[in-house]
Amino acid sequence: MKIVTAESAGFCFGVRKAVDIVYREAGGPGPVYTYGPIIHNQAVVEDLEKKGVRVLRSEEELAEVKGGVIVTRSHGVSRAEEERLRRTGARVVDATCPFVKRIHRTVEKESAQGSEIVIIGNPDHPEVKGIMGWSHTPVTVISNEEEARSYIPRGDGQICVVAQTTFNANKFKDFIAILQQRGYNILCVNTICSATHERQAEAREIARIADTMIVIGDSSSSNSAKLYEICRKECPDTQFIQSWRDLQLPPAGGDGVVGITAGASVPSTIIEEVQLHVRAEF
């Protein structure tokens, strides 16, 4: 039996950075909080809780904070949220992914110069809400083709278009083409991060040759669910598991290929445990 593990499985650069920051801060003297769960992974959040890190999940919980350290998530926060966090008196550690931070800076600068801001992405996603909060001018969020077609600028100046980092690159291009056809004065900044696309493409390749494909991810993680969906199309025997305990063993051994990939919020220790058990039990 051959095991093929995706090189892009698990944490992307931004998530790894954010998680490392929280672990580093957890060793300090004062209370440490994260503004929302640092990643969609229960095991990591629980491990951090054991080290004294508390997740702030509501305004009421934030209001109770008196000093200590608050770490923001890789998705980033709006300017107003950042200011609110600082007003608690806590030291605010910005763990926003640098790729997301770059979007904040672009939106802040371009809107200050009078550009209208358009974000191509999901308006309910915390990353998009955070980006909106850096604009000095009203923002339009376009999430589908219909919205791209019906979009009417508020003025006749420049329109700065950015994307949610995990947005589908082909759809982004299509929406930009729709806006350009109208002859609008567009400054298009492609802010899509390739980490998600690369993870999906590699998972698809491995699932194509695998007899059994294992996708590791938290049940609440949408990028892991997407990976499962992609792999399932290529390999009917695809298992979606949270840890090695969920592995379903084949009836008897086998010479086939077992592929392994993992969502962006899965730490390398969990991937290694799965590899070990697959090797021992399949």
Interaction between residue 193 and ligand F3S (CB under 6 A): yes
**Please, which residues bridge with residue 240 across strands?**
215
Q: Is 32:24 a contact under the CB 8 Å cutoff?
A: no
Residues in 28-47 at the binding interface with ligand F3S, rule: CB under 6 A: none
Interaction between residue 163 and ligand F3S (CB under 6 A): no
Q: How far apart are CA 68 and CA 70, in angstroms?
A: 7
Interaction between residue 99 and ligand F3S (CB under 6 A): yes
CA atoms within 13 A on the CB side of 248: 9
Chosen residue from 8, 111, 165, 221 binding ligand F3S by CB under 6 A: 165
Stretch that binds ligand F3S, among 10-18, 149-157, 240-248, 273-281 (CB under 6 A): 10-18
Stretch that binds ligand F3S, among 48-56, 77-85, 86-94, 188-196 (CB under 6 A): 188-196
Which is closer to ligand F3S, CB of 77 or CB of 193?
Answer: 193
Interaction between residue 15 and ligand F3S (CB under 6 A): yes
Chosen residue from 65, 100, 215, 266 binding ligand F3S by CB under 6 A: 100
> Residue 27 CB, nearest distance to ligand F3S (Å)?
23
Chosen residue from 97, 148, 203, 270 binding ligand F3S by CB under 6 A: 97
Chosen residue from 45, 77, 85, 195 binding ligand F3S by CB under 6 A: 195
Instruction: Summarize as ranges the residues that interact with ligand F3S (CB under 6 A).
Output: 12-15, 74, 97, 99-100, 165-166, 193, 195-196
